[in-house]
Structure 1
């Protein structure tokens, strides 16, 4: 059985683990001492690893790395929440923790790297070298797969549970199960060095999504030509991938 290292057992990491643990042995990390025993009780090998600001001391390099077949990094690296210096320090800790790893590796980026303007955005419109965070992960791991994730949804994360503005705007969302299945597909195909937008291919308005989640019927009220749409066509074509949750109006079903 292949061994997967999952760095970051937060909201997304824990759900990816639930999906992929059926076929792979999971080794993971958490920043919370309180969560450690809870994770271990699920039969998952877990260790503490903190990469954030203010951590004077840091854990030794991850001892399991030489035995891993795949590493998935879900630890967030947000330019909106951290300065470039803080992010550089965080990457330095991450690189020291992983060490040399030349097998398959995944990094969770975000569609927020694209301009907040109307239009259809594809991967070719923005190189990783021109994105601060993506450029840094590629310096450490040149063959890394970068997944630009849409708004994370699934389970209790439903649009109706958020304070929402601009209800006429369309969504660029993704269900966590599709993220996990895309990763599994890429592992199966032994894909390296790719950048993919991981976003559900349908883009209803926020009003439509909330109405569906509240079991209400409304007419379609937006014009996609005037909206910001993140395209997942490259992923669909190259991986021959069929989304489990293609329509965000059905994420709650």
Structure 2
């Protein structure tokens, strides 16, 4: 059985782990000893680790289980929106001390938030990883890394109707967490490396259309034009031949 490490066992990390734990042995990091104890009690080998955005007096100690891992999935925030470039550099330095010179299959969970707020359709070619500081820093250290730019994380207890939402006529770029797990499984099975993919559901209805569907408003107002940016997953579908389990954000709540 392959061994997979998940750095950052939060909302997404936990759901990825639950989706693949029947096929892979899971190792994880979390930020509190209470959560680590809880995971260890469930059979998940967990340690406490956080990656501050300042320079440490001594290098971060390397993860002891690293040499036994086949795959590593990084879910902690690595973006300029979470901190400035210098702080981001420090965070990635601390992370790289923790994972050393890992040579196995590696995944970085990035975000579609890297794309500018312009009303157009975006593919990966519109913004190469070299122009995104966090992605570039990680790729420079780990050339094999796969970068997945995730849309808004949805499914389980996350639905748009539960949030205060503005710009209701703008398109959503959402992804169901089960499709993230499905894409990861496909890439692991294929041994994929060095890829950059947008990961959003195939359809991009407006926020109003999604909320109406989730509130079971059958005759909700249909907008003539859906505004805003749309992040396309065409490359992923073409190269991986992946079939989305949840292609329509209006139906995430039905399944």
TM-score by length of 1: 0.96
Quick one: distance in 1 between partners of 2:224 and 2:192? 37
- The equivalent residue for 2:251 is 250
Quick one: distance in 2 between partners of 1:78 and 1:192? 21
Quick one: distance in 1 between partners of 2:238 and 2:223? 29
**Residues 14 and 136 of structure 1: CA distance in aligned 2, closer, same or farther (over 3 Å):** same
Q: What's the secondary structure of 1:179's corresponding residue?
A: helix
- The equivalent residue for 1:21 is 21
Deviations for 1:142-188, whole angstroms, at most 9, x for unmatched residues? 11000000011111110001110011111000011111110000001
Quick one: distance in 1 between partners of 2:193 and 2:109? 14
- The equivalent residue for 1:137 is 138
- The equivalent residue for 2:216 is 215
- The equivalent residue for 1:95 is 96
Quick one: distance in 2 between partners of 1:60 and 1:103? 19
Q: In 1, are the aligned partners of 2:36 and 2:48 still within 8 Å (CA)?
A: yes
Q: In 2, are the aligned partners of 1:147 and 1:197 still within 8 Å (CA)?
A: yes
Q: What's the secondary structure of 1:252's corresponding residue?
A: helix
Quick one: distance in 2 between partners of 1:223 and 1:236? 26
- The equivalent residue for 1:166 is 167
Deviation (angstroms), 1:33: 1.7
Q: In 2, are the aligned partners of 1:39 and 1:46 still within 8 Å (CA)?
A: yes
- The equivalent residue for 1:48 is 48
Q: In 2, are the aligned partners of 1:205 and 1:222 still within 8 Å (CA)?
A: no
User: Which segments of structure 1 move beyond 6 Å, counting only runs of 4 or more?
Assistant: none
Q: In 1, are the aligned partners of 2:179 and 2:246 still within 8 Å (CA)?
A: yes
Quick one: distance in 2 between partners of 1:59 and 1:103? 20
Deviations for 1:86-107, whole angstroms, at most 9, x for unmatched residues? 1111100110000011111000
Quick one: distance in 1 between partners of 2:127 and 2:82? 21
Q: What's the secondary structure of 2:198's corresponding residue?
A: strand
- The equivalent residue for 1:73 is 74
Deviation (angstroms), 1:125: 1.2
- The equivalent residue for 2:30 is 30
TM-score by length of 2: 0.95
Total equivalences in the alignment: 252
Q: What's the secondary structure of 1:146's corresponding residue?
A: strand
Moved more, 130-139 or 73-82: 73-82
Q: In 1, are the aligned partners of 2:117 and 2:228 still within 8 Å (CA)?
A: no
**Residues 55 and 176 of structure 1: CA distance in aligned 2, closer, same or farther (over 3 Å):** farther
Q: What's the secondary structure of 1:251's corresponding residue?
A: helix
User: Which residues of structure 2 form unaligned runs of 5+?
Assistant: none
- The equivalent residue for 2:158 is 157
Q: In 1, are the aligned partners of 2:54 and 2:90 still within 8 Å (CA)?
A: no
* RMSD over equivalenced CA pairs, Å: 1.4
Deviation (angstroms), 1:219: 4.3
User: Which residues of structure 1 form unaligned runs of 5+?
Assistant: none
